[in-house]
Structure 1
Amino acid sequence: MKQQKQQWQCAVDATIQLSERERDQLERTFTVEYMDIHKATKQQLANFDMFLIHSKIPDTCMESFVKCKYIGIRAHNTDYVSSDLAHKLGIELRGIPQLGENAVAEHTFSLIFAVAKQLFLSSDNINEGKWRAGLQPNVELRGKHLGIIGYGTIGRAVASIGRALGMHTLIAASRTSAEDGSLSLEEVLQQSDIVTLHASTRGHTEPLINKRQLEMMKDGAILINTARGSLLNDADLEAALRSGKLMGAGLDVYPEEPYTNRGLYELPNVVCTPHLAFYTNETISSMNQHLLEQAIHYYNDRNGS
C-alpha cells in the first residue's frame, strides 16, 4: 500500500474542505497535498497524477498538468476545465452526479421571496427610518406563473415547491427532450411572472438569456439564476433592471467568480449570494463522498487493484 501511495500524487484544491474522516479515506490510497492550485508553480503542478477541484482552472494553469491522469470535479458540470485540452493532454475528466437538488431549490425560493417581498429594501427602509416610503406593493406568489428553464432534478424540485405555493409551473422544453405539456423557451419567457434558470451549460457557447430574451419577458417579471453564470448576459440583465423592464433579479452564480460587477449587484432590486445555493452540510458531505469514491475507483481500475 505504501508503494502505491508513492506512485499516485493527488492534489486537492483549497476550494474543497474535507473532514478528518474524508481525509483519512483519501490518504489511505494516495499521497495527498492540500493546496491552492491557482497559486502553485508550474513545477509543483507537474508533480501530480490527480487533481480534485471545485473551481475554474484556466488553460494556462492546466497546461502544467503534464503528469496528470485524472481530474475529479466536485460538480455535475465539468465546465470548470477545458474538455478539449484535457483530451489533448490525455486526462480523464469526471464530474459527480447531480446532487443537492433540495438545497438549490430551497435557495432558489429564498431569492424569489427576497425579491418578490422586497425583504432587503424593506430592511434598509427600517434601518434608515423611512418606514414604507418608496416601496411598491409586494408580489403574492400564489396564482403566479413560474417559468422553469432546465427541468432536471433541481428544476423538478423547484416545480414541486412552486406548486405547493399554488403557483402555475411552465416548463421550457430543452433542445434534446421535452416534458409533456412543456413549452418553447420563448413561450415560457412571455408567460412567466418569475423565470428561474436551472439549465446545463453543455452545448451553449453563448448565453441562453440575453437582451432578446429579456425583452420577451413580462414587464415587472423577476429573473432568478442559481445554475451557471454563463447562461445569462449580465450586462443585458443590468440594462433591463435599470430600465424598469424587470422588477428584480436574484443571483447566486456569475460569469466570473468572485464577481466584481458592482454596477449590477449594488442595484436595489438585485439580491446576490456568493454561489452557495448548494452549500449545506448535507450536500457538501454527499458531494465529497462521490468525489473521493470516484477517484479511488478510477485508481483501482487503472491499477488492477
Structure 2
Amino acid sequence: MPTTAPRLIRSIRLLDAAEARIASEFTAPPPPQSPLATDALLALAHEYQPTAMLVTHMTPLRATDIAALPECVKLVATVSVGLDHLDLAALHARGITVSNTPDVLTDCNADLSMMLILAASRRAAEYFTLVKTGWTRPLGLGDMLGHRVTGKRLGIVGMGRIGQAVARRARGFDMEILYHNRSRLPPEHEAGATYYAQLEDMLPQCDILTLHAPAQSSGAPLMDERTLSLLPRGAVLVNAARGKLVDESALMNALRSGHLAGAGLDVYQTEPNPNPELVAMPNVFTTPHTGSATVETRTAMCMLALDNVAALAAGRPLPSRVTP
C-alpha cells in the first residue's frame, strides 16, 4: 500500500464492497466489530491520525467532541443524508470539511414511504397479527376494512428529492398530490401538484399526510395536537423523515379517538427504543428507521462517502460537500 494513500477511520463497519475498496485505496485500521461510541472514535483519531473520519448517526459529534479532534482531521464524511448528529458550525469553525450522501437513497426512501402509506391505509399490521396469532374464522363483509389508497388526496410536507419521488409513485395510484414546502416548485417539478404556502390550509384537504421535511430548528414538533386536529377524521399519517416532527402523545390520542385511522412510522422521538405504547397500537404500522436499508442503497452511500475522501486527498471538488 503506497504511503500516500489517504488515511481514514470509520465509526462502523461498512458494506463489503466498500470495505474492499478501503483495503485497496486507503490506509485504515481494521473495521470496528461494533459501532464506536464518540469517545472511542476520538481516541482512535488521536491514535491513528487520519485525514478523514467516516461516521453515521450512531456516533454524534458535538462541539466539545469537535474541539477534541486532532489537527490532522480535515474531513468528516457522514454516511447519511441527515446531519442532526453533527455540529456543523463547530466543524466549519475548525476548518473541517463535511460531506453527506444525498440523492443515492432517494428512491429507497420513497419506496418505503409508499409501503407505509399502503400498509397504514390497508391495516397491514392488524392483518399480519391476525394471521400470525391464529386466524380461526372467515372475515365478514364488514370486518377489518381498510381504506383504498387509489384516488385519495396525498399531502406531502417537504417537496425535496424524496417528497418528489413519493409524488411520482403516488401518481401511479391516481392520487391527487398536494404539498407544503418552504417555497413553491417550478411548474415542471410540480407536475400538476397543488401548492399550499400555509400548512394549516393544506391539512384539512389531506386523506393521507406524509412527512419529508427536516426537524424544525426550534425542536418543536410540526404535527402536534392542533395540527393533527386539522386533518380530516379518518386520515392516515406517515412519517419516514424525523421522529421529532411528531408529538407522539398527541398522535396516540388521535389514533385512540379514531380521528386518525392509522399511522405508518419509520422514525420515532426516541430511537432505538421507541415508546412501547405507541408501537403496540394495532393501527400503527412500524419499521425500525430503515428507509435506506437495501444492499444497493447502503453500498452506494458508503461509496459516495469514500468518493468524498478520495476527492479531498486529490484536491478535487467533493461530490457531496455540505456548505456552511
Pairwise TM-score range, normalised by the shorter structure: 0.7 to 0.9
**TM-score of the superposition, structure 2-length normalised?**
0.82
| Alignment check: 8 A CA contact 1:26 1:32 kept | no
Deviation of 1:179 after TM superposition, in Å, equals 5.1
Write the letter of the residue equivalent to 1:275: H
Deviation of 1:202 after TM superposition, in Å, equals 7.0
- Work out the CA distance in 2 between the residues paired with 1:135 and 1:65: 60
Deviation of 1:292 after TM superposition, in Å, equals 0.6
Secondary structure at the counterpart of residue 4 of structure 2: helix
| Alignment check: 8 A CA contact 1:171 1:179 kept | no
Q: Which residue is equivalent to 2:27?
A: 30
Residues 170-193 of structure 1: CA distance to partner in whole angstroms, max 9, x if unpaired?
111x22444553113222211111
Question: 1:263 and 2:263 equivalent?
Answer: no
The runs of 5 or more residues in structure 2 that have no matched partner are 188-193, 317-324
Q: Which residue is equivalent to 1:224?
A: 238
Paired residues for 1:115-130 under 5 Å: 115-126=120-131, 127-129=133-135
Number of corresponding residues: 297
Residues 33-70 of structure 1: CA distance to partner in whole angstroms, max 9, x if unpaired?
42332172753343343211122415265554234321
CA RMSD of superposed structures (Å): 2.5
Question: 1:281 and 2:295 equivalent?
Answer: yes
Q: Which residue is equivalent to 2:195?
A: 182
- Work out the CA distance in 2 between the residues paired with 1:63 and 1:83: 12
Q: Which residue is equivalent to 2:322?
A: none
The runs of 5 or more residues in structure 1 that have no matched partner are none
- Work out the CA distance in 1 between the residues paired with 2:231 and 2:102: 32
- Work out the CA distance in 2 between the residues paired with 1:290 and 1:93: 13
Q: Which residue is equivalent to 2:107?
A: 102
Secondary structure at the counterpart of residue 37 of structure 1: coil
- Work out the CA distance in 2 between the residues paired with 1:146 and 1:41: 43
Q: Which residue is equivalent to 2:258?
A: 244
- Work out the CA distance in 1 between the residues paired with 2:241 and 2:218: 13
- Work out the CA distance in 2 between the residues paired with 1:151 and 1:118: 26
Secondary structure at the counterpart of residue 2 of structure 1: coil
Higher RCO (Cα < 8 Å, 6 or more apart): 2
Residues 207-263 of structure 1: CA distance to partner in whole angstroms, max 9, x if unpaired?
222222111111111111111222222232223222322111111122332133111
Paired residues for 1:83-162 under 5 Å: 83-126=88-131, 127-129=133-135, 131=137, 132=139, 135-162=143-170
- Work out the CA distance in 1 between the residues paired with 2:310 and 2:281: 46
Q: Which residue is equivalent to 2:79?
A: 74
Write the letter of the residue equivalent to 1:72: A
Which of 209, 213, 217 does residue 223 from structure 2 map onto?
A: 209
Rate the CA distance shift 1:42–1:298 in 2: closer, same or farther, 3 A. closer
Paired residues for 1:44-83 under 5 Å: 44-47=44-47, 48-49=49-50, 50-56=52-58, 57-59=60-62, 61-67=65-71, 68-83=73-88
**TM-score of the superposition, structure 1-length normalised?**
0.87
